[in-house]
Amino acid sequence: MYRKAPFSYVPTLCICTGFRIGAAAEAYHRAMRVGIGILGFGTVGGALLTKLINEHASISTKTGLEIAVVKVAVRDTAKARSVSLSPGVLTNDPWEVVNDPGVQLVVEIMGGEDPAGDLVAEALRLGKPVVTANKALIAARGKELIAIAEESGVPLLFEAAVAGGIPIIRPLSETLAGEQIDRVLGIVNGTTNYILTQMTENGAEYKAALAEAQELGYAEADPTADVSGADAAAKAAILASLAFGTWVGFERVYTEGIDGIDATDVRIAAELGYVIKLLAVAENTAEGISVRVHPTFVPGDHPLAVIRGATNAVFVEGPSFGELLFAGPGAGGAPTGTAVLGDVVDAARELLAGAEVAPPIRFQPGRLFDFTSVKTTWYLRLEVADRPGVLAQVAGVFGDNDVSIKSVWQEGEDDGATLLLVTHAHEEGRHRASLDELRALDVVRNVGAVIRVEGTGPTPNL
Ligand code: NAP
Ligand code: HSE
């Protein structure tokens, strides 16, 4: 079924000052009007509306589009807002936005799966293009929503859902659509990168750094999604699906957050010449596709080691093009608003062209394989009893699981004794079996940290 949006084209004359569009048309050009409805007026919504209102003339001049904000939904219409809207535009009923006949295109920036998912689905069924920044929604219901968009012949665009202001969705789904892609690796969560940078460079406390990230508008409404790795996992699932052409469900992403990282590990990483980063790694090998998110020791000379604050960076690797690096602001209202606006312009042009739009990537079944057979190198911090034979018991556990140890050293003594170990690369499964057995040893008081290492792993200079 293909239903076009119930809209009317209203060509308007737009006065352009100081902008030349050819010799004869210096002062005027025709702009095509598109009525948009926005679900959400928070960090991203505020930035988008500021742009649409303050830069209205230049957007119109540059794109030929007259973007008219028809309806905006919020939870609380009495809350003070950064931009004032015409009377009647603000509503606390999001369905009013979707169903308004003057709304030709819907922007979903309210977050969460419910009711956002049903609102997006209904807008698409009504033949209205949708732009969303909601990675949680796309990772959970993307396959279904893309199918509804295809049936209605309208675009569903989500450039802002991954890595904020960095164009990465469009390169994967358009520029590289015909390419074999083997690996996508990067930092895709601004909040956690901000926290880790503050802890590494300024000795900040975890909680204080998180509060700053919230204040700066980087964190999700519930920041648990950031620090638990769930936000990065949703983004990794989307990147993997587009890169490999196989839909990867969010639940298939192995996920660990940074909530267990403490100042000791940040210090030890620095002493060994590493920095801790929350990495998303999606690989497509002969065994199949694996996707994971976890804190990682990254060598100081690796390009990702210098990605600081809320900046994100994503490597895309394939046999024809080698290695591409996409980097830039990964969170925050303004850069995310830029990505949303780009999608609005794109979707509005498709709408005005009247073309039936098909999704750029067609998903095929693929083999997803369990992370337990991926080979990784581990750093471990074990709080242990300080007495003869402890090291032999710990080493015995690794030996029994066929995991070889690259380096081991001790910090502190007596009650403060800590064993620090780096293993060689082995299958996750073997590492995990070792970990279970270590936890059962009475000489191991606590497994303080387990952090995977990018590359072969450090050799401490003892
Ligand atoms: P936010 O600041 O929490 O804003 C959410 C907005 O949605 C608020 O205006 C809220 O209304 C409104 N809202 C929420 N539930 C609603 C409901 N049931 N009915 C009507 N309105 C509702 O969130 P944000 O940071 O702008 O993020 C929005 C989306 O963009 C999320 O999906 C997020 O993951 C994504 N995103 C955010 C960033 C970023 O850096 N912040 C970057 C990329 C993507 P009130 O104002 O009345 O509370
Ligand atoms: N909370 C997200 C982050 C916003 O910190 O990366 C951008 O998606």
Same domain (yes/no): 184, 159: no
d(CA 44, ligand 2 centre) in Å: 11
List the Cα angle 157/230/111 in 5-degree steps.
45
Q: Residue 73 CA to chain centroid, in angstroms? A: 24
Look up the domain containing 120 and give its range.
8-164+333-353
Q: What is the maximal distance between C-alpha atoms in the chain?
A: 90
The closest alpha carbon to 187, from 283, 311, 324, belongs to: 311
79 CA: nearest ligand 1 atom? 47
**Any ligand 1 atom below 6 A from CB of 223:** no
Same domain (yes/no): 118, 259: no
Same domain (yes/no): 388, 322: no
Report which bound ligand comes closest to the CA of 45: 1
Same domain (yes/no): 195, 324: yes
Same domain (yes/no): 313, 189: yes
The CATH number covering residue 210 comes to 3.30.360.10
Same domain (yes/no): 176, 104: no
Residue 267 lies in a domain: yes
161 CA: nearest ligand 1 atom? 44
189 CA: nearest ligand 2 atom? 6
Q: Which amino acid is at 343?
A: D
List the Cα angle 368/150/245 in 5-degree steps.
25
> What is the rounded distance in angstroms from the CA atom of residue 248 to the CA atom of residue 239?
9
**Any ligand 1 atom below 6 A from CB of 312:** no
d(CA 282, ligand 2 centre) in Å: 19
Residue 2 lies in a domain: no
d(CA 197, ligand 2 centre) in Å: 15
- If you take atom 7 of ligand 2, which residue's CA is the nearest one? 331
Same domain (yes/no): 94, 227: no
Q: Is the pLDDT of residue 4 over 70?
A: no
Q: Which DSSP string do the residues of 329-394 spell out, in sequence order?
A: E-SSHHHHHHHHHHHHHHHHHHHHHTPPP--S-------B--GGGSEEEEEEEEEE--STTHHHHH
Confidence class for position 6, pLDDT limits 50, 70, 90? very low
d(CA 6, ligand 2 centre) in Å: 34
Mutating to test ligand 2, I would choose from 218, 307, 338 the residue with most ligand atoms within 8 A of its C-beta, which is 218
**According to the model, what pLDDT value does residue 17 have?**
30
> What is the rounded distance in angstroms from the CA atom of residue 29 to the CA atom of residue 72?
28
Same domain (yes/no): 144, 190: no
Confidence class for position 452, pLDDT limits 50, 70, 90? very high
**According to the model, what pLDDT value does residue 371 have?**
82
Residue 360 lies in a domain: no
Contacts of residue 156, defined as CB under 8 A and 6 or more positions apart, other chains included, come to 120, 124, 129, 130, 132, 145, 146, 148, 149, 359
**According to the model, what pLDDT value does residue 29 have?**
52
Residue 243 lies in a domain: yes
d(CA 332, ligand 2 centre) in Å: 7
d(CA 261, ligand 2 centre) in Å: 19
Residue 461 lies in a domain: no
- If you take atom 31 of ligand 1, which residue's CA is the nearest one? 111
Tally of domains in the chain: 3
310 CA: nearest ligand 1 atom? 40
**Any ligand 1 atom below 6 A from CB of 98:** no
**According to the model, what pLDDT value does residue 344 have?**
98
Residue 235 designated active-site: yes
Same domain (yes/no): 130, 30: yes
The CATH number covering residue 21 comes to 3.40.50.720
Q: Where are the alpha helices (DSSP H) in 55-164?
A: 56-63, 94-99, 116-125, 135-152
- If you take atom 8 of ligand 1, which residue's CA is the nearest one? 42
179 with 318: CB under 8 angstroms? yes
Q: Residue 1 CA to chain centroid, in angstroms? A: 33
d(CA 221, ligand 2 centre) in Å: 10
Element (DSSP H or E) covering residue 399: helix 390-400
**According to the model, what pLDDT value does residue 31 have?**
84
Q: Which of 11-20, 81-90, 290-299, 376-385 has the lowest mean pLDDT?
A: 11-20
> What is the rounded distance in angstroms from the CA atom of residue 131 to the CA atom of residue 143?
15
Same domain (yes/no): 320, 430: no
Mean pLDDT, the chain, rounded, equals 92
d(CA 41, ligand 2 centre) in Å: 17
**Any ligand 1 atom below 6 A from CB of 111:** yes
Residue 1 lies in a domain: no
135 CA: nearest ligand 2 atom? 8
Residues with Cβ within 6 A of ligand 2? Answer: 164, 189-191, 218-220, 226, 231, 330-331
Boundary residue ending a domain (353, 387, 409): 353
**Any ligand 1 atom below 6 A from CB of 38:** no
Same domain (yes/no): 408, 346: no
**Any ligand 1 atom below 6 A from CB of 120:** no
At 21-77, the pLDDT tens digits run: 444 444 345 689 999 999 999 999 999 999 999 999 999 999 999 999 999 999 999
Confidence class for position 461, pLDDT limits 50, 70, 90? low
197 with 286: CB under 8 angstroms? no
At 261-279, the pLDDT tens digits run: 999 999 999 999 999 999 9
The CATH number covering residue 381 comes to 3.30.70.260
Task: Give this prediction's pTM.
Answer: 0.93
Same domain (yes/no): 42, 129: yes
Percent of the chain with pLDDT over 90: 86
**Any ligand 1 atom below 6 A from CB of 327:** no
188 CA: nearest ligand 2 atom? 6
Residue 361 lies in a domain: no
Selected catalytic residue, list 71, 128, 235, 406: 235
Residue 398 lies in a domain: yes
Residue scoring higher pLDDT (457 or 215): 215
Report which bound ligand comes closest to the CA of 310: 2
Q: What is the mean pLDDT of residues 192-220?
A: 97
Confidence class for position 216, pLDDT limits 50, 70, 90? very high
